[in-house]
């Protein structure tokens, strides 16, 4: 099929004269019609609908030219379609005419003018068809197909195909005001697959580091295949992360112990049971934190950093009875059965791809575990900034973290601060309505420049439409659509996309979460 639109602009003064003449002709026809009715003693006759409509349209056309800054054009739209047989050609012609009529548009078949039509359509710059009609510039613009919003960043990665223009969506979160992101959608809409697709593209196209928090053990196969490190965190796991780990750059240029002391205060409040500590207890914790790090700082961050067991021992050395109470309160997590964060780190936290598997973290350890994992991530980000490396952080089922005040506040701080560290956070969740109940999460979502919206539940759609100012037409792209289809918000651009990944590949089997389709590693 070939299509051409020939447009001949008309000077405004000439166009106004033309429309005025037409309006005068219509008015004359109406007057003549009324005179004939009066001659027949029919003094109550109503002007026929077609004449009234011509007068109305002529007046609107004149108003467009004189008050709405429109121009008049002559235009002819020519379409040539070909087929293998006369029967197929006739069938296709009828289909085109029916489709056009459905949209209140009329096509005329070029009888004995096929050659003229072909010469008009081919890129010669010739117009052999004389069937011109008048249009305003506003009406003419409807026929221009190049109105789709595109996303094409240099050095970006592939996120899907633009549904409207069929062009590739190539985006780079590094080009945005902040690279923070959310992936939202109902269960089965392709959230995890979208995140894994981005992870694979980042791993293969850059030297950036990737850190995952995986509460449902959905990323293990992919991480193993990509040579990453999986850190299983639970009360019985052999993997340990030292809650007191600290790098040279942890304090963002200031004394790192000050920031670490704030973290230890939050940790102790969680360990003791979410109680607010008094002034004496906070002073003791601050004093003991500085005490356990003194030797590590004096050795210029060489050797092994202190552990929570060292911190517990330091508390026992204090004379105040409050110190003994704090030590007793955290004993379960330092030398008791839940001491997984009180031992030296024994996993490769320097691997380029790290996945923190928190599926087996019980209710008692989850708030503490998330604080330690997030602090470990902050430690890694500050190290990477000193090296000039970017870090991408993916947090699946992020709504779990908003159920605990300390991890929610830590996330909010991370979301605001990581941009200057060269890091990019991504939250993945299906519970959009629940997420938006949290003021913290709502602020994080509103301040994220990169949002992937897949198929949404009806209540979630309305909330997102209000928060992100999405039109009804755009909402149709996240209503009852297949997995991998939706809307992508990149800065101020909002584009519908589709991503159909080849299913016969091993990469697909590594990334899918559908039962029976996963690959064995």
How far from 19 is each of 82, 134, 324, 407, CA to CA, in Å? 38, 10, 95, 69
Angle at 334 between CA 398 and CA 314, to 5 degrees: 120
* Residue 494, H or E segment: strand 493-498
pLDDT in tens, 413-462: 888 878 888 889 999 988 787 777 778 888 888 878 899 999 888 888 88
Residue 123: strand, helix, or coil: coil
Look at residue 338 and tell me whether its pLDDT is greater than 80.
no
Q: Give the range with max mean pLDDT: 41-50, 90-99, 440-449, 452-461.
A: 90-99
- For residue 74, the tally of other CB atoms under 10 A from its CB is 15
The confidence score (pLDDT) of residue 275 equals 63
Look at residue 464 and tell me whether its pLDDT is greater than 80.
yes
Compare 458 and 197 and report the one with higher pLDDT.
197
Compare 204 and 272 and report the one with higher pLDDT.
204
Fold of 242-344: Helicase, Ruva Protein; domain 3 (1.10.8)
Look at residue 20 and tell me whether its pLDDT is greater than 80.
yes
Helices (DSSP H) in 103-176: which residue ranges?
A: 114-121, 137-141
Residues of the chain with pLDDT > 70, as a percent, come to 96
Look at residue 521 and tell me whether its pLDDT is greater than 50.
no
The confidence score (pLDDT) of residue 307 equals 85
Q: Distance between CA 421 and CA 139 in Å, rounded?
A: 50
What is the mean pLDDT of the segment spanning 72-87? 90
> Comparing 68-82, 238-252, 460-474, 483-497, which segment has the lowest mean pLDDT?
238-252
CB distance 333 to 368 below 8 Å: yes
The confidence score (pLDDT) of residue 274 equals 58
The confidence score (pLDDT) of residue 68 equals 83
Residue 471: strand, helix, or coil: coil
Q: Distance between CA 36 and CA 49 in Å, rounded?
A: 17
252 — pLDDT class (breaks 50, 70, 90) = low
How far from 322 is each of 130, 277, 279, 312, 336, CA to CA, in Å? 97, 10, 11, 13, 20
Q: Pairing relation of β-strands 168-171 and 209-214?
A: unpaired
Residue 330: strand, helix, or coil: coil
pLDDT in tens, 380-407: 888 888 888 899 999 998 888 887 777 7
Residues of the chain with pLDDT > 90, as a percent, come to 18
Q: Distance between CA 35 and CA 228 in Å, rounded?
A: 91
What is the mean pLDDT of the segment spanning 128-137? 85
Q: How many angstroms from the chain centroid is the CA of residue 481?
A: 16
Residue 211: strand, helix, or coil: strand
The confidence score (pLDDT) of residue 343 equals 83
The confidence score (pLDDT) of residue 273 equals 65
How would you list the strands of the sheet with 423-429, edge to edge?
Answer: 168-171, 157-162, 493-498, 485-490, 450-453, 181-184, 423-429, 391-396, 209-214, 353-357, 229-232
Q: Distance between CA 155 and CA 378 in Å, rounded?
A: 26
158 — pLDDT class (breaks 50, 70, 90) = very high
* Residue 452, H or E segment: strand 450-453
Look at residue 254 and tell me whether its pLDDT is greater than 80.
no
Look at residue 256 and tell me whether its pLDDT is greater than 90.
no
The confidence score (pLDDT) of residue 514 equals 76
Q: Distance between CA 340 and CA 243 in Å, rounded?
A: 9
CB distance 456 to 483 below 8 Å: no
The secondary structure of residue 48, as a DSSP letter, is: P
What is the mean pLDDT of the segment spanning 104-119? 88
The confidence score (pLDDT) of residue 88 equals 93
For CATH 1.10.8, list the domain ranges present in the chain: 242-344
CB distance 234 to 414 below 8 Å: no
The secondary structure of residue 420, as a DSSP letter, is: G
The secondary structure of residue 307, as a DSSP letter, is: -
């Amino acid at each position: 099929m070939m299509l051409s639109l020939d447009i001949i602009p008309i000077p405004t003064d000439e166009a106004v004269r033309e429309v005025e003449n037409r309006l005068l002709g219509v008015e004359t026809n109406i007057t003549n019609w009324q005179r004939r009715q009066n001659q027949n003693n029919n003094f109550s006759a109503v002007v026929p609908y077609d004449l009234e409509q011509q007068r109305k349209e002529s007046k609107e056309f004149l108003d467009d030219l004189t008050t709405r800054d429109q121009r008049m054009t002559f235009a002819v739209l020519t379409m040539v379609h070909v087929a293998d047989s006369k029967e197929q050609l006739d069938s296709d012609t009828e289909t085109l005419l029916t489709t056009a009529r459905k949209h209140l548009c009329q096509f005329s078949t070029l009888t004995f003018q096929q050659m003229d039509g072909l010469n008009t359509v081919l890129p010669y710059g010739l117009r052999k068809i004389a069937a011109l009609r008048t249009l305003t510039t506003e009406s003419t613009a409807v026929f221009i197909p190049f109105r789709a919003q595109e996303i094409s960043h240099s050095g970006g990665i592939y996120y899907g195909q633009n549904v409207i223009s069929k062009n590739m969506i190539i985006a780079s979160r590094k080009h945005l005001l902040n690279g923070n992101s959310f992936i939202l959608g109902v269960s089965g809409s392709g959230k995890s697959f979208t995140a894994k697709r981005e992870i694979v593209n980042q791993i293969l196209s850059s030297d950036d580091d990737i850190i995952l928090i995986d509460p449902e053990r959905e990323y293990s196969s992919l991480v193993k295949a990509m040579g990453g490190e999986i850190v299983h965190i639970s009360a019985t796991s052999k993997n340990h992360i030292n809650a007191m780990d600290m790098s040279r750059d942890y304090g963002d240029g200031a004394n790192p112990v000050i920031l670490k002391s704030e973290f230890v205060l939050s940790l102790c409040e969680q360990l003791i049971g979410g109680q607010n500590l008094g002034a004496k207890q906070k002073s003791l914790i601050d004093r003991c934190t500085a005490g356990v790090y003194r030797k590590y700082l004096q050795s210029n961050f060489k050797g092994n950093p202190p552990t929570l067991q060292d911190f517990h021992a330091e508390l026992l050395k204090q004379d105040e009875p409050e110190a003994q109470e704090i030590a007793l309160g955290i004993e379960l997590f330092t030398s008791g059965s839940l001491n997984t964060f009180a031992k030296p780190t024994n996993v490769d936290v320097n691997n380029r791809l790290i996945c923190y598997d928190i599926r087996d973290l019980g209710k008692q350890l989850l708030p503490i575990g998330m604080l330690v994992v997030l602090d470990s991530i902050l430690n890694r980000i500050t190290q990477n900034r000193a090296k000039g490396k970017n870090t991408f952080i993916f947090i699946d089922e992020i709504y779990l973290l908003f159920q605990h005040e300390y991890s929610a506040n830590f996330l909010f701080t991370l979301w605001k601060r990581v941009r200057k560290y060269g890091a990019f956070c991504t939250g993945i969740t299906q519970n959009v309505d629940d997420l938006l109940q949290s003021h913290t999460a709502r602020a994080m979502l509103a301040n994220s420049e990169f949002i992937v919206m897949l198929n949404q539940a009806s209540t979630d759609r309305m909330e997102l439409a209000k928060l992100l100012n999405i039109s009804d037409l755009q909402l149709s792209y996240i209503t009852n659509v297949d997995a991998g289809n939706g809307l992508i918000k990149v800065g101020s651009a909002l584009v519908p996309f589709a991503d159909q990944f080849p299913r016969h590949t091993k990469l697909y089997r590594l990334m899918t979460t559908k039962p029976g389709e996963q690959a064995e590693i």
